Amino acid sequence: MTGAGRPAPAPAAAWRDFPPLALAPPLAGALQAFVELGYHGATIRDIARRAGLSVPGVYHHFPSKQHLLVALLDLTMDDLLTRSRQARAQGDGPVERFSRVVECLALFHMHRRDLGFIGASEMRSVAEPARSRIAATRTEQQRMVDDEVEEGCRRGLFRAPHPHEAARAVVTLCTALPQWWSPSGPQSAELVAREYVDFSLDLVRAAR
Amino acid sequence: MTGAGRPAPAPAAAWRDFPPLALAPPLAGALQAFVELGYHGATIRDIARRAGLSVPGVYHHFPSKQHLLVALLDLTMDDLLTRSRQARAQGDGPVERFSRVVECLALFHMHRRDLGFIGASEMRSVAEPARSRIAATRTEQQRMVDDEVEEGCRRGLFRAPHPHEAARAVVTLCTALPQWWSPSGPQSAELVAREYVDFSLDLVRAAR
DNA sequence: GAGACGACCGATCGATCGATCGGTTGCGAG
DNA sequence: CTCGCAACCGATCGATCGATCGGTCGTCTC
């Protein structure tokens, strides 16, 4: 499945490339239903209808409704972490690394808006032990921003009085993007992402 | 019920005063259950148990589960709007008015964390026409910040390149506070509120 | 062309959901 | 003492939930 096609023509900015998301029908149906109704509000019949399947048709591919949610969240965090690591690896110095990770976070939460939305809103519906595992990857994502802010402060490039709080504010801004940004709105994802990099540089009081 | 007791000794900063929230038992139970499980995940039996009542005991006071949610959201927006108007009325000039409204928003989402949390997360579970009504009050709250930012930019006190976007970012930061702030954490609500006023002044690029 | 198997579906399971019914209790007014 | 009513409760309603059962259909193998 993975590894087919795509000769990876521009690996330099693969983290900025968001091809149309191709999910298996049950996952795509579950994603839509969870976004509109929430995990508990969505029914298996709902999901099956959106997937163009019967109820047993869904259960043929996934053993339970809970597994659908976990699969979506795993897929989300895998993609986000991979992109963030690429984005950071490309940056030179804390300011550039910070800026690219923020841009990546913002782009992801707009181009993968639905995934980002349930990633932020449905964690409480995930049963253990999956919850702890996924929460750990979210912590790792947060720490990636934390580290750059702290390093920037140490080198005098940022002047945030409370680096940790500023980093949390930056991540919060990006993860909240799916709540209001829409592809049919007036602003493109790329424009907003640049704007949010500026916002984030303001929040950490980067030297201008 | 309201209007009893409290001789209003310090009306000057009533919007900064957060006495322990005294909700009717079914509302308090519903609030806890909604926060922990979400609207659809919470059952009437859950709510009744937390309220120390039987199921019909809950229905004696509220006609449906939906009414419990709407009552909580109405109560939330009433309190928040009242406080915000007081906070703004006290300020002199756009900078001070902006700062006070942000402080009010931040304080509310920490001292009334649970209410603020479901206010942000359970809007999609509200049926029409209540949803439109409550959404309108949230728009009014947003506009209150919008207006001050725009006025500040017009007078040259703020230098936000995109005032509307900056205002949305400010509100987003405050409404996300219930997601991570905890009264048992290391920082007091008042400290964080001051910090968030600073963050917000950074976001609108207030002259320092 | 026989057999195995993946990909489904109609029918239905027990459990649980939100909501309701017909009571019982306690208290304040007359 | 009795009436009226607010404040409940045990039992139960029909509907719907997540999940499962046994079966069908097409395709691929040998």
Query: What's this model's pTM, rounded to 2 decimal places?
Result: 0.90
**Tally of residues, chain A:** 208
The confidence score (pLDDT) of residue A10 equals 55
Mutual angle of helices B65-90 and B113-121, in 10-degree steps: 110
**Residue contact A40–B36, C-beta within 8 A:** no
C-beta separation of B26 from B47 below 8 A? yes
Q: Is B151 helix (H, G, I), strand (E, B) or coil?
A: helix
Burial B77-87 (b: 16+ CB within 10 A, else e): bebbeebbbbb
**CA end-to-end distance (rounded Å), chain B:** 46
Strand D atom within 7 Å of B38 CB: no
pLDDT band at B187 (very low <50, low <70, confident <90, very high): very high
The answer on pLDDT for B161 being more than 90 is yes
- Quote the strand ranges of B1-87, DSSP E: none
**Residue contact B41–A39, C-beta within 8 A:** yes
Could you give the angle at the alpha carbon of A16 between the alpha carbons of A15 and A18, nearest 5°? Answer: 95
Residue of B nearest to A161 (CA): B195
Determine the Cα–Cα distance for residues A127 and A130; give it in Å rounded to an integer.
6
Helix (H) or strand (E) holding A131: helix A130-154
Q: Using the 8-state DSSP alphabet, how is residue B21 labeled?
A: P
Distances (CA, A) of A42 to A61, B72, B81: 18, 23, 32
The confidence score (pLDDT) of residue A11 equals 60
Query: pLDDT digits over B88-129, tens only?
Result: 998 899 999 999 999 999 999 999 999 999 999 999 999 999
Q: How far is the CA of A56 from the C1' of D19 (A)?
A: 9
The answer on pLDDT for B63 being more than 60 is yes
Could you give the angle at the alpha carbon of B122 between the alpha carbons of B97 and A167, nearest 5°? Answer: 55
Determine the Cα–Cα distance for residues B89 and A36; give it in Å rounded to an integer.
38
Could you give the angle at the alpha carbon of A142 between the alpha carbons of A114 and A197, nearest 5°? Answer: 75
C-beta separation of B109 from B175 below 8 A? yes
Q: Amino acid identity, residue B157?
A: L
Residues of B within 8 A of A205 (CB-CB) are 202
Determine the Cα–Cα distance for residues B9 and A125; give it in Å rounded to an integer.
44
Residues of B within 8 A of A202 (CB-CB) are 202-203, 205
Mean pLDDT of residues grouped by 10 in chain A (208 residues)? 46 87 96 97 97 97 97 97 95 94 98 97 96 97 97 95 96 97 96 97 87
Could you give the angle at the alpha carbon of B122 between the alpha carbons of B36 and B132, nearest 5°? Answer: 160
Determine the Cα–Cα distance for residues A126 and A39; give it in Å rounded to an integer.
9
Chain B residues 47 to 76 with C-beta below 7 Å from nucleic strand D: 48, 52-57, 60-61
The answer on pLDDT for B12 being more than 80 is no
Q: Using the 8-state DSSP alphabet, how is residue B160 labeled?
A: -
Residue nearest to nucleotide D9 (CA to C1'): B54
For B:151-190, CB contacts with A below 8 A are 161-162, 165-166, 168-169, 172-173, 175-176, 179-180
Tokens at residue A8, please? 């990876």
Q: How far is the CA of B23 from the C1' of D10 (A)?
A: 27
For A:4-33, CB contacts with B below 8 A are none
**Residue contact B202–A198, C-beta within 8 A:** no
The confidence score (pLDDT) of residue B205 equals 87
Domains and CATH numbers, chain B: 22-63 (1.10.10.60), 65-203 (1.10.357.10)
Could you give the angle at the alpha carbon of A89 between the alpha carbons of A195 and A154, nearest 5°? Answer: 75
Determine the Cα–Cα distance for residues B42 and B31; give it in Å rounded to an integer.
10
The answer on pLDDT for B55 being more than 70 is yes
Strand D atom within 7 Å of A55 CB: yes
Q: What is the overall mean pLDDT for chain B?
A: 93
Rg (CA), chain B: 18
Rg (CA), chain A: 18
